[in-house]
Amino acid sequence: DGGITQSPKYLFRKEGQNVTLSCEQNLNHDAMYWYRQDPGQGLRLIYYSQIVNDFQKGDIAEGYSVSREKKESFPLTVTSAQKNPTAFYLCASSIGNSRNTEAFFGQGTRLTVV
Amino acid sequence: GNSVTQMEGPVTLSEEAFLTINCTYTATGYPSLFWYVQYPGEGLQLLLKATKADDKGSNKGFEATYRKETTSFHLEKGSVQVSDSAVYFCALSESGATNKLIFGTGTLLAVQP
């Protein structure tokens, strides 16, 4: 089945550690996105990539980094510089950069700082 | 900048009641508009979309009409079920070079039997 797979589903991080969230898609989509979800704030865009080896900062990129070495994969690293990383992280992909196309979402990773 | 405003929840309804969740937007150009649904502990799923003014999106008994004159995209359903309990997000896709989605804050719907 085609889709987006995020792993792990739950992740615990100690303060000062970097952690990497995985996102893989087999939909052959060019564009991929990372969103952060906090209660009462909707989804906020962290980074997005429209093509392999290229990505742009979203609205809240500070403290995060990404790579796009393969079309199928768009991992997100939450660095120790991110002061409040506890949140639900959602990865999404879409066919391309047409505004009419829908985004497909993974099941999310819940990150908790302990 | 572009933005989406949704009515705050939670919205609590009895089964078979009529549902309206209000959504208004601010955007330059001609955005596409979407409603996504999120069930507990899961990612978002597209519920419906509309890509130009006066378009009506519909799916699973839900409807929304793209109203440019009032910059609105209100979600409606004539008779809700317990299984419709979820968080509903209104979103717009910016016109231009990217497909970035701008989301509202989400509205929690709780349907009681």
The tens digit of pLDDT for each residue in A61-108 reads 999 999 999 999 999 999 988 889 999 999 999 987 676 778 899 999
- Please, what is the average pLDDT of chain A? 92
Integer Cα distance of B51 and B57 in angstroms: 9
Residue A57: closest C-alpha in chain B: B100
- Is the pLDDT at B2 greater than 90? The verdict is no
Round to the nearest angstrom and report the end-to-end CA distance of chain A. Answer: 35
* pLDDT score of B70: 95
Alpha-carbon dihedral sign for residues A44, A41, A107, A96: negative
> How many CB atoms neighbour CB A59 within 10 A?
14
B40 part of contact set with chain A, CB < 8 Å: no
A61 part of contact set with chain B, CB < 8 Å: no
Residue A93: closest C-alpha in chain B: B99
| Bridge partners for A34 per DSSP | A47, A91
CB proximity under 8 Å: B 47-86 to A:
49, 51
Torsion of CA B95, B101, B104, B105, to 10 degrees: -160
Q: Which of B33, B100, B102, B105 to mutate to test the interface with A (most CBs of A within 10 A)?
A: B100
Give the contacts of B69 (CB within 8 A, at least 6 positions apart). Answer: none
The residue that leads in pLDDT, A41 or A49, is A49
Per-residue pLDDT tens for B41-83?
Answer: 888 999 999 999 999 999 999 999 999 999 999 999 999 999 9
- Is the pLDDT at A46 greater than 90? The verdict is yes
* pLDDT score of B96: 65
- Is the pLDDT at B36 greater than 70? The verdict is yes
